[in-house]
Amino acid sequence: MSSSTIQNNTTPKEFSPKTVIIWLLIVASTMLFLAFCSAYFVHQGDGLRNNAWLKFDLPFEFWLSAGIVLISSFFMQMAYRAAQKDDIYKIPSLLTITLICGIAFCISQFYGWLNLMDRGLFLSNKEPAEISASFVYVISAAHFAHIIGGLILLTVGIARASKLQIHKKNLVFINICKTYWHFLGILWILLLLFLYFA
C-alpha cells in the first residue's frame, strides 16, 4: 500500500489534561457553593415572610480577607509571569509570598468567626432568625477548606520551583496553581458580596 494521508481530526491539545482537571474541579466546587447559596435564598425567603431573618453586619475581618486575597492573587500572577519569562529564580519567593498571604487570609477568617461569636452569633441558632449566622459560618468554612487545599498546592509549587522544575517550557503546574488560587479569590469576593447584598 502506498503512503496514505490521514485526515487530521486531531484531539484538542491547547489545554493539558491537568489544566482541564483543575477547571472541572472548579466547576464541582462552584456547584457546591451554588447549592449553599440557593439554600440561603430559600431560608431567607421563608425567614423574611415569617419575620424571622436576622440581618447583621459581616465582620470587618472578612473584608480584610478580601483585601488579602486580592494581594495574594497579585503575587500569584507575578509568579506566573516570572515563569512565563523564564525568570525562574523569582518564582519560589513569589509563591512563598502568596502562601503567606493565604495563611494571613486563614487567620483573618478565624478572627472573623471570633468577631461573630463576640456578638452572640454562633453556628447553632437559638432563635429561628439566627439561622442566617449559621449560613455565614458554613459558607465561610467551606471556602476556608478550599483555601487549605490551595495552600497545599502552593507548598508543592514552592518545592517544585525551588527544584527549578517550573519554567517557561513547563508551565502546567504553576498554571494550575494560578487558576485555582484566582478562583478562590474571586469566589471569596463573590461570596462576600452575596452575603452582604442578599
24 binds other proteins (CB under 8 A): yes
197 is an interface residue for other proteins by CB under 8 A: no
Stretch that binds other proteins, among 88-96, 108-116, 147-155, 174-182 (CB under 8 A): 88-96
Grid coordinates 519567593 are at which residue?
Answer: 93
Stretch that binds other proteins, among 21-29, 103-111, 177-185, 190-198 (CB under 8 A): 21-29
Site string for other proteins, 109-128 (x = CB under 8 A): --------------xxxxxx
Binding flag, residue 60, other proteins (CB under 8 A) = no
Sole binder of other proteins in the list 64, 70, 71, 88 (CB under 8 A): 88
CA distance 128 to 135: 12
Task: Please tell me the count of residues contacting other proteins according to CB under 8 A.
Answer: 67
